[in-house]
Amino acid sequence: MDATEKQYVLNTLAGDSWRLFRIMGEFVQGFEELADVKKAVTIFGSARFTPEDENFQKAEALAANLANCGFTVITGGGPGVMEAANKGAYEAKGRSVGISIDLPFETGPNPYQTDVLMMRYFFVRKVMLLKYSTAVVVFPGGFGTLDEFFEAITLIQTKKIEPVPIYLVDKSYWQGLIDWVKDTLLARGAISESNLQLFKVVDDIDCIPDEIDEYYKSEKHGGFAVPTLDDDE
């Protein structure tokens, strides 16, 4: 290794070391600011939906209902479904947490938040979005929403976190994904049939707050013992 190559390696190592401190700092900030969250629901969904979209309106209504039932609402802090959920909780006088990510094409945190956290790293943000949640609700969304959904069920499947209720909202939207999970993943042995009980697909959001409460009161924290999509029909 010549002097130029050695200097390149040293510069790379130094940059990675400082990056580690930034990552640690984000974790410390998140742990400190959210430590008092006791009963919370994280809501995921597309950043692209406008207030005229049905999913925006349903997320806002659900968040208001959750806030009225004493739940903190946590989102990714951006526009679309995230803004709708924060707005519903905020206007219901509940705690409305936004954990935003620094992206070049987003305008920053939405204005409906009692707690605002800014993150640089997606993986730190995902830890914070799930660590303090007693349930997860996933509205229709794109790649980011799919990533968050699969992260949550993977952590439960591998027993890295305690099971929590996970809802997919809008059966028609998720039908193709559920069919593929069953017809390909399950059929080929890539998952077990019990993994299909890690989440519930719903159209009716009004039942969600009461179901979450009942889930924890029953102390049956082993995943949903309820029908999935095809069994409802």
The Cα 231–Cα 77 span in angstroms is 34
Model pLDDT, residue 228: 37
Asked if 84 and 139 count as a contact pair (C-beta separation under 8 A), the reply is no
Strands 40-44 and 96-101: unpaired
pLDDT in tens, 69-125: 999 999 999 999 999 999 999 999 999 999 998 877 666 799 999 999 999 999 999
Report the pLDDT averaged over residues 40-45. Answer: 97
Residue 8 CB: number of other CB atoms within 10 A?
A: 12
Strands 135-138 and 40-44: parallel
Model pLDDT, residue 232: 42
Domain ranges of the chain: 1-35, 38-232
Residue whose C-alpha is closest to residue 55's, from 205, 226, 176, 218: 205
Tokens read off for 55: 């999913």
Tokens read off for 13: 């190592």
pTM of the model: 0.86
Asked if 109 and 116 count as a contact pair (C-beta separation under 8 A), the reply is yes
Q: What are phi and psi of 221, to 5 degrees?
A: -90, 55
pLDDT in tens, 164-210: 999 999 999 999 999 999 999 999 999 999 999 999 999 999 999 99
The Cα 5–Cα 57 span in angstroms is 56
Residue 30 has pLDDT above 80, yes or no: yes
Residues of the chain with pLDDT > 70, as a percent, come to 86
Report in angstroms the alpha-carbon separations of 170 from 4, 45, 141.
57, 11, 11
DSSP state of 103: -
The Cα 145–Cα 168 span in angstroms is 11
In terms of DSSP H, where are the helices of the chain?
3-34, 54-68, 81-91, 122-131, 143-157, 171-180, 208-218, 229-232
The verdict on domain 38-232 having CATH code 3.30.2030.30 is: no
Report the pLDDT averaged over residues 5-28. Answer: 71
Opening angle at CA 137, ends 29 and 155, nearest 5? 65
The Cα 133–Cα 152 span in angstroms is 11
